[in-house]
Structures are given as structure tokens and as C-alpha cells.
Chains A and B, each alone.
Chain A
Amino acid sequence: MMLAFPLPRYLTPFLQAPALLALLWLLLALAGPWVAPYLPGEVVSTTVFAPISARHWLGTDYLGRDVLTRLLYGTSSTVLLCAASTVMACGAGAFLGMMAALKRGMTDTLLSRFMDGVISIPSLLSGLVAVATFGSSVPVLVLAMACIYLPGSYRTCRMLALSIVQKDFILAARMRGEKTSYLVVREILPNMAGPVLTDVGLRFIYAVRLLSNLSFLGVGLQPPQTDLGSLTRENLLGLVYGAPAVIAPALAIAFLTVGLNLALDGKGRHQ
């Protein structure tokens, strides 16, 4: 496709397969609840674990609710919660990482030591501890995931920024007397946008895995809210009948995580 006008270079990373795929899921998450044929809590059929039919495209669940509706709502909460926590984690990670790379010295050492300490706690474990302490609600889950994935993002951004800070154009900008904010926004960020966005994609996949795992264990999102993990959990009995109620959310998670990861992997191979 030819574009009539040149795009700013910070937009080019958004025009690649992983980003387009992510935007598609985001669109689905935002539009899902609007196009859902029923209400998520509404019992619409007397048959439980009904197969695929014209009235219920993905059958009914263990209470006779419409699976497609619940799947759209579940996708919405999974994608939006994970996107929110990823944005928070990577935003804070990028900010702190660039600060550490620019300031060096004591700030860098203390921050890095602290982040190394946090990273040494497995993510599912931190999630469980957070839920045990603060109870499981949407803000707790989002904040916990943001804190869990912050150190990884910090490390990536610090490494990337460190290699950029040593380049001559940064030295030139510093000689010109540019402020730190100018250096960050105009010089460092545009030069690490590609790898950072790949990192954001990976953290998003980790977040989806963590939230789904927590919800599957019954300690993530609590009813009446649903996400893809809790949908799989509550319909697990349907496994015996091969009901679409349990297969659909499982497939949705697989499509979301594997699809995004394959796209990111393909992009990494090209670079």
C-alpha cells in the first residue's frame, strides 16, 4: 500500500502485524458488550451445555446462559484489564528505566537492585499473595499485575536506553543545552520505540496468562464479572460433553496469546 504522505517515524511500529492484531483485539474488547445478543447474566435457555445452534451461536453454559454473550464480555474484561496493567507497568518501567540510564550512579544502582529483588519472586506467587492480602477486585488485580511486570519492563528499557545514551547525537543534544525532558521525548524514545513495543506485547501476553490462571484457580475476577479464565473454570463440567461452553473460552485465550506471540516472533525474526 502506498501512502500519499510520509508518516512520522514514531508511527511506523504501529503499522506492523503484532500491533494490528493487538488493535483488533482491543476493538473486539471495546465493541463486544455492545454487540452481544443477550445480557451476560440472563438465563436464556432451559438446556444446559447446549450445542451450537442458530439461536445460540456458541451454545449455552452450565446455567443455560448464552455463551457468545458471556464470551464477548469475558474477552472484554480480560483484554481491557491486561491492557491497563501492561500500559501502567510499561509506562512506569520505561520512565524509571530511562531515568536510571540518564542519571546513572546511585539512583541507577538502588533502582536496579530493588527491581532485581522484585523479579526474583515468581509472578503467579506474587499474584496469589496480593489477592490473599487485599482481596480480589478489579483495582487490586490491575495494580498487582502492573507491579509484577514493572521490573521486567524497567530492565528492558534501561538496557535499551543505556545503549542509546552513549551515542553521539545524545552528546550533541546535551552540548546544545537541551533539557532532560527533550532528550527523553525527542531523542531516546523514538529510537527505542520498536523494541519497547515488542516488550509491551510480551508483557501483555504474560498478563493475560497470569489473569487467566488466577481466574481459573477461582481467585481472580469474582462473579458476576467474568473473564476468559473464569469462563473456562465455571464450565469445566461441560468438558465431558465436549460442550462449546468450555471449548470457546479456551480457544479464545489460545488465539489471543498464541496469535500475538507468533506475530511478535515473526517480527523478531525479521529484525
Chain B
Amino acid sequence: MNAKLGIAIARRLGASCVSLVFVVVAVFFITSALPGDVAQSLLGQAATPDAVAALRHSLRLDEPVLLRFASWAGGLLRGDFGMSLVSHQSVMSMVHERLLHSLLLAGITTLFAVPTALLLGTLSAIFRNTVFDRCVSVLTLCVVSVPEFLVATLAVLVFAVQLHLLPALASISDIHSIGSFLAAFSMPVATLGCVIVGQMARMTRAVMVNVLSSSWVEMAVLKGVSPTAIILRHVLPNVVAPLFNVMALSLSYLLGGVVIVESVFHYPGIASLMVDSVASRDIPLVQTCALIFCAAYLLLTTLADVVALFSTQERSRA
């Protein structure tokens, strides 16, 4: 039994590694599809052909693509992500602090959003087809269908402009007290949280409704088990795996949301760094940021699948 589980987990990890390699290859080849353009666009329209050729040579753009890929991938393995084309600093040093800021934002949002979403989704599944359920359903649908920046703009309009409650920008450099911490983080976290909660509550409801309308729950109701016992003993063990999947999928929406939220509130995280690097076409920085995001996404989905494997194992033993 355990050997079987080990093999299943190893297979899943193997598949993730293959995906990671696919992503690394794809990111590199897409971003180096236009070899001459980067040097040209860095120097601007007034560049002489000699200057462009010299820059291309110093950026090693005149070498064959496969050779460049080999040296780039080799660098990745050694933890060397290359140099920024614009600021001429090493990408590693630029990314390091920003990544910590982003992880902090994502962590706080997760702490706040996951319980809220699970509660909201479960409640609307238990009270399905009531007014409460309809309200939650329409509200979450609105939140998930508008672009993330609309939620952020609305939050700024209400809390910063109309009510003057919170600052419109998240300045995390001067955090000295709990008050200033709350002031800096509440708007970005609330905006990001809205997007995640909307997504996760809908999926949680779907999972819970699926289980609650199953025949074994009906059986438990008919033989007179109390509602609390049904939820705790019959439903909960069966929703652990799908709920972890829901969480992983929703948290991957964090990645999309974080790009917008960091830009709107000028939060110095890795996503706003990536948007800036896209605008200035700083390819090494774009590559590194894209890889970090994809790796985070893969990590989340892999984790969810491994938990699902463990929980099916537990249930088949019980």
C-alpha cells in the first residue's frame, strides 16, 4: 500500500519536473524569438548600426540560440539569473527583496482569505437555493468576472477618496507600529482577498454541494444523524482532497491578482517589478520573474495533488 502511494507521489513529482522544464524552455524561446530587436529597442531609433552590433555582441545576441540557451540554463542551475539590461545590476539582487515583500503580501492574504472563503462556500452549500445562497452567488460572480483592477479602483474610491480612512498607496518602508502596518496592508490585502474569496467560495460551494447531495449523506440524514455530525464525520473527510485542489487553484489566482494589486498600490513586490521590466523590455528580468511565478504555480498544484493522494490513501485504509 505504502509503496503504491510512494510510486504515485513520485510520478506526480516527476510530471511537475517535466512541466517545469517545459516552462523554462518555453520562457526562454519565446523571449528570444526576436534576436535583433532587443538591442535596437534598448538603443532607440537614433542608434547607429555599429552601436547596435556592438551591443548585440556584448549581450551575446549574435551567438546561436541553442548556445545561449545552454549558458542561460546553466546559469539558472548555479543560481545566476543574469544581469538586468536596464539597471546593469544582477537580477538576483533586484529580485531578492521584492520576492520577500510579495510573499509577505500573499501570506497575509492567504491567512485572511482561505478561512473566509471556506466558511462562505460551505454555508451557501448548506443553505443552498436560499436568499443567502443567491446573494453570495451573484456577489462572487460579479467579483470573479470583472478585471482585478476594477476591484482595486473601487476600493481606492471608497476607502481612500470618499471615506479618507486609508492611504491610497502602500508605503511599507516606514512601518513602525501596528497602526501603520494595518494602514499599509489593509487595502492591498482586502482587494486581493476579494478576488481570491470570490473564486474560492464558488468552487468550495460546488464541491460541498456535490458531496451533500450524495446518497450516503441522504442515508445519514434518514437514519437520524445530527447535522453537525454529518458535516464533521461524513462530509469533511470526503472533501479534504477536492478542497485542497480548490485552494491551490484559487491561490494561483493570487498570481494574476498580485500583478494588478502591486501596480495599483505601488507595492514594491516582484509583480510590479515584472510589469516595469515588461514596459522597459528588460528581458533577463522578465524571464526570471516569469519563472518565479510559474514555479510558484506548479508548486501549488503539485502540493494539492500530493495532499489528494495522501487523503485518498487515508480513506481507503479507514
Contacts and interface: CB of A to CB of B under 8 A. Distances in A.
B23 A132 contact: no
Interface string B286-310: 1000100110011001000000000
Interface in A215-234: 216-219, 229, 232
A24 B279 CA distance: 35
A170 B254 CA distance: 43
Interface stretch (B63-71, B118-126, B143-151): B143-151
Main secondary structure of the interface of B (DSSP, over half): helix
A213 B147 contact: yes
A257 B279 CA distance: 27
B149 A258 contact: no
B102 to A, nearest CB: 14
Interface in B252-268: 252, 255-256, 259-260, 263
Contacts of B197: none
Interface in B233-277: 252, 255-256, 259-260, 263, 274-275, 277
B33 A232 contact: no
Interface stretch (A26-34, A86-94, A117-125): A117-125
B318 interface: no
Nearest to B144: A261
Interface residues of A, number: 43
Contacts of A212: 147, 149-150
B290 A125 contact: yes
B255 A232 contact: no
Interface string A106-136: 0000000000111011111100111111110
Interface in A234-252: 236, 239-240, 242, 246, 250
Interface of B: 19, 22-23, 26-27, 30-31, 33-34, 37, 41, 137-138, 141-142, 144-150, 153-154, 156-157, 161, 252, 255-256, 259-260, 263, 274-275, 277-279, 281, 283, 286, 290, 293-294, 297-298, 301
Given A121-B26, A128-B286, A254-B146, 10 more contacts: A120-B297, A124-B255, A124-B259, A132-B31, A133-B33, A134-B33, A239-B156, A239-B157, A242-B157, A262-B141
